[in-house]
Amino acid sequence: MPHLSIRTLLIISILLPLSLVYAVSAMIETRLNRNAAIQGVELRLEELISKRAARVDGHFAAAAQIPKTLADMLSTARLQNKKDLEDILRGVLAVSPRLLCASIAFEPNEFHEGVERFAPSVYRAVEGSKELTYECLTESPDEDYDYMQRDWYRIPKETGRAAWSEPYLGVTTWGNRAMMCTYSAPIVREGCFAGVVMIDISLDELQDIMSQLEPEDVTYYLLSETGTFITAPESEMEFLQNETILSFAEKHDSEQLKQVEKDLRLSKSGVIQYNKVFNDQRRGWLA
């Protein structure tokens, strides 16, 4: 074995540690750059989704303000003229073209002493038109109909709070079936429950709103409070109908989506990188 010269040994003794230091430094720098890039993506997605969520929330918040305001008014003012209530409901739908229906439903004797039940309602007669139809829910042709047993009446009565219903496929007065949602606010007089103000709102235009959101490299899904898919890209809506994020996660055995479902129920927000199951791409970001 040839002897190495002192010069060669010195070069090796200096270069070898330097090479190791450089390699370690390069690894650290690469990891730091990668982490910085990931943090940048997460921050961008958080900001983007927050803005989009605020836009969709505004769509519902404006509608929810109507029954809230009317319920507050009826909590202090005892209107006992049926025509006055009908005129109020007609006025609400006249200035709110997105609403399908508005109703006021009273507890026994709360509208007028001796009146067991009273629930005036105004419906939009034809989608998109200004023609309105008045009906009292106590005079429904369905003999089994009892508004006091309906969730939109019962839940505010039991909780004392206004609430949105889960999305459902309802039948409009013009005979079409449409995805809709109900918001109901309790009427409270001197601390006691007196009735409910309710509106029905169509969810059809939400699909259009979601499809118009940009940029194109982001796909948007809108879920209800219980994780039911309300809107999705048109190409995916067919197989996501009647699905919840939990049922979808179980069907595809995705532990990541199961965790997302838990976080949503706890109102947690965040961004994760995960194995995509919605389409053919293998990896993606979920905000």
CA dist 83 and 230 (Å) reads 37
In the chain, count H helices and then E strands.
Answer: 7, 11
- At 75-84, the pLDDT tens digits run 998 887 899 9
For 221-248, write each residue's pLDDT tens digit: 888 888 888 887 777 777 777 788 899 8
Closest by CA to 74, choosing from 97, 109, 106, is 106
Which CATH number describes the domain made up of 60-202?
Answer: 3.30.450.20
Residue 252 makes CB contacts below 8 A (sequence gap 6+) with: 277
What's the CA dihedral at 108, 169, 155, 240 to 10 degrees? 180
Percent residues over pLDDT 70 in the chain: 79
Please, what is the Cα angle at 215 between 235 and 237, to 5 degrees? 15
* Cβ atoms of 176 and 127 closer than 8 Å: yes
Tokens of 23: 């390699």
Give the tens place of pLDDT for each residue, 210-220: 777 766 677 78
Predicted structure pTM score: 0.74
54 Cβ contact list (under 8 Å, min separation 6) = none
Q: How many Å from the N-terminal Cα to the C-terminal Cα in the chain? A: 63
56-65, pLDDT tens digit by residue? 888 788 889 9
CATH no. of 206-286: 3.30.450.20
What integer is the mean pLDDT of 173-193? 84
Q: Could you tell me the residue ranges of all domains in the chain?
A: 60-202, 206-286
Q: How confident is the model at residue 116 (pLDDT cuts 50, 70, 90)?
A: confident
Question: CA 280 from chain center: how many Å?
Answer: 26
Q: Do domains 60-202 and 206-286 have the same CATH topology?
A: yes
